[in-house]
Chain A
Amino acid sequence: MMSITSPDKLHPILIGLSHISERSAAAIETLLRSSTQCQALIVAAHEAEILILDLDAGNPRALWLEFRQRFPTQPVIVLSLAEQHLAEVVWVKKPVKPTLLLEAITLVSKQIQRITPIQPVASTPINQITPVNKAQNKPNKEVSNLAAEPAVIAPITISNPAKTKSKPAPQTRDVTQAMDDEINHNTFGNRPDFDPGSKEIPAHVFYDPHVMLQGLLTDTLKVARADGKSRVIEGVLAVILVIPDPPGWVMTQASTQRIRAISVMHMANMQDTRVRELIEHEHLTLLPKIPLENFLWLISLSAARGRVPLGTDLHAPIKLERWPNFTRLEAIPHAMRISALWLTQAMSLLDTAAHLHIPQRYVFAFYSAANAIGIASIITTSTGSKNLVATHSTSHSGKPVANKQDAPKERSSFLGKLLNRLMRD
């Protein structure tokens, strides 16, 4: 597999999105994040090295002209249902197959890289490079052929190699469905459960928060809380202001998508990372303000990808202090059921998954996020790990209750029906 990095190899390649729906944008972002071959980040269009444009978002011709007016030089990947033959453009047919989109990004990234040594001035505009006009007659040119071309960007069609000759067969899965699966897989991983009875715990259920943004933020927060002074984290492809005043705030311009993407990266790859004190009257204080808890939840959930922090005892009971503020936190499947259970009785991560009949990765994801915001932890008992411990009597609201007046069965079935009515909404 080819791998994608930015020309300078230090930073991920910066991708901008133009006329892409919010839903597809989220899908593309998670696709990039999940890809092992790809260190790429979604950034604002004007900061991007490569742009992705959905040409079906309006009149294609008008859209294209307007786009080139705004971004005359950026390499671009065009998405559309109808085949496009635009100079200097890589085209990916819709519905977009995730693999083909990655391939297109890889291709364009390589082109940028090859241009750099030939044109020593790094800022050489791409539009000064002669497009291969003849290539327009061969829109279905194979990717491998192109890789052998000199440093030019020609119109290229990225399509499923098996289907390049004939008209593409109707796609069986449409882009949103495929991308939805990607989102789910990439936020929570897609590892199957492992046998809780097995002696060896596979290494892939663990992640190391310390080498990621989560660790950097937690460390920064400690320092900030110790002296009560705000800190600025820089050099992580975003500027993040950490304010220790209770309950704690984060200020950043970076979008949720971008934060997610940064959260999965190893900080070791970010050479210019630095943390400094906030200088008084700095304009940073005008940035959008996010409660620290919501921010920590988001980055730990993104970093965890369905895993738990290194060293977590999967057999030890978990204690949940309180209900998370679910209306303002990134959603995790089954998180409410897990909360209700843990507030009734402490139970281990593995037993929780088995007890609720849900994949382990959701329990792991929820634990990682709740642990990061400080409301879930392992109960360590002197007698070693026990799997079931009754929680302190103060958390009785989660107890299954039998209302004396009602037949419990009838009521329980009513609650189930009401729940499913709410779920349908």
Chain B
Amino acid sequence: MANYKLVFTGPVGAGKTTAIITLSDIAPIGTDASATDMTANRKPQTTVAMDYGMMKINATERIHLYGTPGQERFDFMWEILSEGGIGLVLMLDNSRSTAFQDLHFFLTAFKDFIQGRGVVIGITHMDSHPTPTINEYHAQLQGTGLNPPIFEVDARNRADMLTLIKSLLYSIDPGLEEHV
């Protein structure tokens, strides 16, 4: 049986760890450490290696949730993430002045991963920072060949995260059907 996984990425403080905690059936295995100088002024806890969580689908099957560290050194875990990865969840923090640069940086860094898989984008902290708007993110992607779901989410909100993941599945396979 294949070992399927979802990969969560994005800049420091975007809500990757929180999103995995929100979705995971098990207490996630975090690797948060006190922030280095680089991030100390932003938040007290930052992820230095990988986050891991898991959702049970049925008695035998699971979906694994991996979060990359937010400090731009994920090349070393490339192999792990690629195998069985079904899609990328890019979390972006709307309060960062570099939000659009972040968008392009991560889409470029994960270009090969996205190819043949799916990608969705969750914009966090819109409660405190309503701009830029979702429309402006879409406008950023004009001409890039990508037109993924981009939703306002709060990483702490399970309904938001579930909606985001559902859209990922539908964008990978529009033919999926709900059997409710």
Residues of A within 8 A of B (CB): 246-247, 291, 321-323, 325-328, 336-337, 339-341, 343-344, 393-398, 400-406, 410-412, 414-423, 425
B165 within 8 A of A: yes
- Whether B117 pairs with A415 at a CB distance below 8 angstroms is no
Task: Give CA–CA (A395, B167) in the complex, Å.
Answer: 15
Given contacts A416-B177, A420-B179, A425-B162, is CB(A326)–CB(B169) below 8 Å? no
- The residues of B that contact A322 with a CB separation of less than 8 Å are 138, 147, 150
Given contacts A327-B152, A411-B2, A415-B86, is CB(A394)–CB(B147) below 8 Å? yes
B83 within 8 A of A: yes
Given contacts A336-B167, A423-B178, A425-B158, is CB(A400)–CB(B147) below 8 Å? no
Chain A CB count within 10 A is highest, among B55, B138, B165, B177, for B177
Partner of B2, one of A339, A406, A421: A406
Partner of B147, one of A325, A337, A398, A418: A398
- Whether B170 pairs with A397 at a CB distance below 8 angstroms is no
Chain A binding surface SS class: helix
Q: Determine how close the nearest CB of chain A comes to the CB of B106; give it in whole angstroms.
A: 15
- Whether B171 pairs with A398 at a CB distance below 8 angstroms is yes
- The residues of A that contact B178 with a CB separation of less than 8 Å are 419-420, 423
* B45-104 CB contacts (< 8 Å) to partner A: 55-58, 61, 63, 83-84, 86
Chain B CB count within 10 A is highest, among A246, A337, A344, A410, for A337
- The residues of B that contact A414 with a CB separation of less than 8 Å are 2, 4, 61, 86
- Whether B174 pairs with A398 at a CB distance below 8 angstroms is yes
B119 within 8 A of A: yes
Given contacts A247-B133, A415-B86, A415-B176, is CB(A403)–CB(B171) below 8 Å? no
Task: Give CA–CA (A403, B83) in the complex, Å.
Answer: 11
B134 within 8 A of A: yes
- Whether A323 pairs with B166 at a CB distance below 8 angstroms is no
Task: Give CA–CA (A340, B152) in the complex, Å.
Answer: 18
Given contacts A401-B117, A421-B57, is CB(A325)–CB(B152) below 8 Å? yes
- Whether A337 pairs with B174 at a CB distance below 8 angstroms is yes
Closest to B131 in A: A247
